[in-house]
């Protein structure tokens, strides 16, 4: 396999779900396994990059030569990303970040009593958009998990979040995307696009990183 295409490059990426606490024993989260992000981290390290992986709670082993930082919540993920963003060449937001967190996290376990209960949520910061709006930003790549109008929504996110590239996957297709071992991606950048057909996540990661490398600004 391939030469060390990314030798000398620094790459930071997020992976996995985030957990948003309700009280000390409960949280909301999602079904992200972290497999795509960990495959990207492994492939990038194999291609010679210096890789930092900010991961939500997942049960995956850290790929060789990858520096891993574990976080729980979206806010922790943002803090960790911002602490490490300096001098990165590439940022990939692969994490399934919770869009909302609980407005007030109870400090003690909540007790059941009333038949109905309401919890109030507030928006989480958008980590990807925050990185993409930095003045000296790295080449910034987002993911978009969609169930319909994949191209339209992905291109919308590319523009709105000021990304350099977006990799979209159709999560309504059985056996692909969330928690699966295989995936397929439609990749868009401001003046081009490419379809990466269904394959295992490591092969797909290598193809996506090759595309990213082709689009990197030449310094
Ligand atoms: O807008 P949407 O959540 O679909 O965008 C998905 C992309 O944005 C992914 O790359 C995800 O990692 C990133 N994201 C983020 N912070 C959020 C929400 C999404 O970095 N709070």
- Can you tell me the ipTM of this complex? 0.97
- Strands 66-70 and 90-93, how do they pair? unpaired
Is there an atom of ligand 1 within 6 Å of 196 CB?
no
pLDDT of residue 181: 86
Helices (H), 13-140: 35-46, 74-84, 127-132
Read off the pLDDT of each residue in 8-14 and give the average, rounded to a whole number. Answer: 98
Provide the pLDDT confidence category of residue 23 given band limits of 50, 70 and 90.
very high
Consult the annotation and say whether 99 binds a ligand.
yes
Residue with more model confidence, 3 or 36: 36
Which amino acid residue places its CA nearest to atom 6 of ligand 1? 144
pLDDT of residue 188: 98
Q: What is the pTM of this model?
A: 0.95
Is there an atom of ligand 1 within 6 Å of 154 CB?
no
Which DSSP state fits 19? -
pLDDT of residue 1: 54
Q: What is the mean pLDDT of the chain?
A: 95
Helices (H), 87-215: 127-132, 150-160, 201-215
pLDDT at 131 > cutoff 70: yes
Which run of H or of E encompasses 101?
Answer: strand 100-102
pLDDT of residue 84: 98
Q: Which residues are catalytic?
A: 30
């Amino acid at each position: 396999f391939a030469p060390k295409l990314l030798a000398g490059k620094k790459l930071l990426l997020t992976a996995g779900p985030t957990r948003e606490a309700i009280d000390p024993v409960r949280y909301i989260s999602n079904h992200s396994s972290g497999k795509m992000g960990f495959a990207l981290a492994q492939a990038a390290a194999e291609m010679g990059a210096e890789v930092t992986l900010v991961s939500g709670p997942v049960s995956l082993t850290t790929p060789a030569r990858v520096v891993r930082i574990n976080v729980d919540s979206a806010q922790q993920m943002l803090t960790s990303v911002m602490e490490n963003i300096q001098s990165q060449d590439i940022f990939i937001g692969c994490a399934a970040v919770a869009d909302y967190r609980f407005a007030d996290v109870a400090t003690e376990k909540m007790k059941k009593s009333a038949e109905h209960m309401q919890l109030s949520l507030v928006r989480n910061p958008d980590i990807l958009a925050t990185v993409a709006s930095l003045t000296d930003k790295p080449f910034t790549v987002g993911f978009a998990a969609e169930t319909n109008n994949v191209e339209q929504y992905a291109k919308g996110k590319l523009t709105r979040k000021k990304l350099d590239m977006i990799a979209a996957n159709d999560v309504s297709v059985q056996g692909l995307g969330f928690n699966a071992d295989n995936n397929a991606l439609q990749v868009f950048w401001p003046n081009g696009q490419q379809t990466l057909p269904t394959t295992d996540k490591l092969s797909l990661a290598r193809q996506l990183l090759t595309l990213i490398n082709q689009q990197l600004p030449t310094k």
